């Protein structure tokens, strides 16, 4: 976002942050034919209908096949779908918002990250003081993942006005060896990572290192919303670059780098380090699809999805849900 803090998160319109199911029946050869032939050919979002006005969506598929989507705003806004096309809204994640949020000058939460580990759903999220990097990452757990079922576990990590980082936009990654890592960050000195204790979901006491994984040391500091996956032996770091939350004036875009170690260094396709302004484009503005970002990655029955928001140039810049599949055949994610 165009800010020295997460300021514009509090002025979104509104503050709630795919392919269609038909793709489930499309032959693999046809799907591959849909992949753009050049990196500059960005696809339109897959068809979604219903309650699709969101910011910073995170989505998971439960054991019954139902999709649970949470997003920025309120007590973390909720959408659900049975087919990944038609979405309906429900109650917020939190029936009663945790009282500690008020320490950060807010009654709303941002940028949730949902996952399922150890027999329960976990959701990391952020709260922050308007116009400041006085921020905190919180954690909640649920046996069902449904609104009203979440128990809040309090703060995981914080930043203050004297910090050179911003503790928002969390993403949990669990490695093959069972180690847990949390990436986060927005602007300032960029994206960070800490190691997490699986027993508590909070920072591992035996490793208090805060790793730097992406930054823009020259020019704009605009990088945020990290999301990490491991594919084909590499760790891939997705991040949102440039200005969010300005409607059709948004310049948000999604970029990626990869590393052989979870803590980096991450390099883009041209070999430029993500700690030195690097990043290979995955999604950018095109046509009426403005400022795609706030992304998360979800592995579904038909492949990996990139789930994000964008601003609809045909609808006065309204923020909407975008879902596309990713193809990894080149060693780099290509949206289609």
The answer to whether 224 is a known catalytic residue is yes
The two beta strands, 318-327 and 334-335, are antiparallel
- Residue linked to tokens 């810049």: 317
Q: Is 217 exposed, middle or buried (0-12, 13-18, 19+ CB in 10 A)?
A: exposed
The C-alpha atoms of residue 246 and residue 206 are separated, in whole angstroms, by 42
Contact between 141 and 150 under an 8 Å Cβ cutoff? The reply is yes
Contact between 71 and 55 under an 8 Å Cβ cutoff? The reply is yes
**Catalytic annotation, pick one of 56, 113, 242, 284:** 56
The answer to whether 56 is a known catalytic residue is yes
Which residue in 166, 184, 186, 190 sits closest to 277, CA to CA?
Answer: 190
Angstrom CA distances, 242 to 38, 108, 325, stand at 22, 23, 23
**Catalytic annotation, pick one of 224, 268, 300, 304:** 224
Catalytic positions, written as ranges:
56, 224
């Amino acid at each position: 976002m165009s800010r020295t803090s997460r300021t514009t998160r509090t002025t979104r319109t509104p503050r709630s942050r795919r392919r269609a199911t038909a793709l489930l029946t499309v032959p693999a050869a046809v799907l591959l034919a849909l992949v753009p032939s050049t990196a500059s050919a960005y696809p339109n979002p897959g068809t979604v209908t219903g309650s699709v006005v969101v910011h910073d969506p995170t989505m998971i598929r439960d054991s019954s096949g139902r999709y649970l989507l949470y997003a920025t705003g309120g007590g973390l806004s909720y959408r659900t779908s049975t087919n990944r096309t038609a979405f309906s809204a429900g109650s917020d994640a939190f029936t009663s918002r945790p009282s500690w949020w008020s320490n950060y000058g807010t009654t709303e939460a941002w940028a949730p990250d949902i996952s399922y580990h150890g027999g329960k759903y976990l959701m990391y999220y952020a709260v922050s003081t308007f116009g400041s990097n006085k921020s905190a990452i919180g954690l909640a757990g649920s046996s069902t993942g449904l609104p009203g079922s979440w128990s809040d576990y309090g703060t995981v990590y914080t930043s203050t006005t004297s910090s050179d980082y911003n503790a928002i936009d969390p993403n949990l990654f669990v490695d093959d060896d069972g180690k847990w890592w949390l990436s986060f960050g927005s602007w300032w000195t960029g994206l960070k990572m800490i190691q997490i204790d699986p027993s508590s979901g909070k920072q591992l006491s035996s490793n208090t290192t805060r790793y730097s994984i992406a930054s823009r040391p020259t020019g704009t500091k605009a990088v945020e919303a990290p999301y990490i996956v491991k594919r084909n032996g590499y760790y891939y770091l997705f991040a949102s670059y440039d200005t969010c939350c300005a409607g059709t004036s948004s310049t948000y875009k999604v970029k990626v780098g990869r590393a052989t170690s979870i803590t980096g260094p991450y390099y883009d396709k041209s070999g430029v380090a993500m700690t030195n302004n690097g990043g290979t484009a995955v999604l950018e503005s095109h046509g009426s699809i403005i400022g795609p970002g706030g992304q998360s990655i979800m592995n579904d029955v038909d492949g990996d999805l990139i789930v994000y928001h964008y601003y609809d140039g045909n609808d006065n810049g309204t923020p909407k849900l975008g879902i596309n599949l990713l193809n990894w055949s080149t060693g780099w994610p290509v949206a289609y």
